[in-house]
Chains A and B, each alone.
Chain A
Amino acid sequence: QKEVEQNSGPLSVPEGAIASLNCTYSDRVSQSFFWYRQYSGKSPELIMSIYSNGDKEDGRFTAQLNKASQYVSLLIRDSQPSDSATYLCALNTGTASKLTFGTGTRLQVTL
């Protein structure tokens, strides 16, 4: 089993809808979780960090963490064509000074 799993997509949602991106992980001691957005040909950009169970909202983005079920999700409300990108989930287990990344989910927001 991979340490961090994401559906590669593409996930296609119409403009204005809610996009839901999911990530599961295998290491129960994971402490810090991050969502990055990566446009084609560009470097990843940090959009959300979450450290404790529950929801964290920032503008149109909501990160949800459930450590008992070992998943973290990202909701994007009122999806826009500019949200079309690959979204990478990353986590830190706390046992090493590095992040482990998923392979990403490609999101397509259609007009």
Chain B
Amino acid sequence: DGGITQSPKYLFRKEGQNVTLSCEQNLNHDAMYWYRQDPGQGLRLIYYSQIVNDFQKGDIAEGYSVSREKKESFPLTVTSAQKNPTAFYLCASSGKQGDEQFFGPGTRLTVL
């Protein structure tokens, strides 16, 4: 059963703590993406990766970090430098760059 998984579904953290969100795909897709969605707003790109061991900043990369050590995995770390981290985080993947993207179920992060 191919798809994209994200964990956890809900995450609560205290202010000042780093937190890592997991994203795994078994679609054999080369490209992977992280988005942030705030209530009533569209998707904003945080980071993306076209191939293993390479990634680029998106529109709102400050306060976030990523790694791409395996094709299947693209974890996102929300650092304490991110001023307003509470949001819905979405991971997506694509078979080729710029083509249609498929989304995981998302992680809802709340910083208390």
Establish whether residues B105 and A42, one from each chain, have CB atoms under 8 Å apart when the complex forms: yes
Binds A, one of B12-20, B61-69, B95-103: B95-103
Query: Nearest chain-A residue to B90 (Cβ)?
Result: A43
Establish whether residues A97 and B101, one from each chain, have CB atoms under 8 Å apart when the complex forms: no
Establish whether residues B98 and A88, one from each chain, have CB atoms under 8 Å apart when the complex forms: no
Contacts of B31 in A (CB 8 A): 97
Establish whether residues A34 and B100, one from each chain, have CB atoms under 8 Å apart when the complex forms: yes
Establish whether residues A88 and B42, one from each chain, have CB atoms under 8 Å apart when the complex forms: yes
Residue A49, interface by CB 8 Å:
yes
Establish whether residues A44 and B90, one from each chain, have CB atoms under 8 Å apart when the complex forms: yes
Query: Nearest chain-B residue to A96 (Cβ)?
Result: B98
Task: Count contacts on B: residues with CB < 8 A to the other chain.
Answer: 22
Establish whether residues B99 and A32, one from each chain, have CB atoms under 8 Å apart when the complex forms: yes
- In angstroms, Cα B105 to Cα A49, docked, is 20
Given A34-B100, A42-B106, A46-B101, A98–B43 Cβ distance below 8 Å? no
What per-residue 1/0 map shows which CB atoms of A17-58 lie under 8 Å from chain B? 000000000000001101000000011111001000000000
Pairs A–B under 8 Å by Cβ, sample size 13 = A43-B105, A88-B42, A92-B99, A94-B98, A96-B98, A97-B98, A98-B48, A99-B98, A99-B101, A101-B43, A102-B42, A103-B41, A103-B42
Q: Which 7 pairs, one residue from A and one from B, show the smallest C-beta to C-beta distance? A: A97-B97, A103-B42, A43-B103, A92-B98, A101-B43, A43-B106, A101-B42
Task: Name A residues whose Cβ lies closer than 8 Å to a Cβ of B.
Answer: 8, 31-32, 34, 42-46, 49, 88, 90, 92, 94, 96-99, 101-104
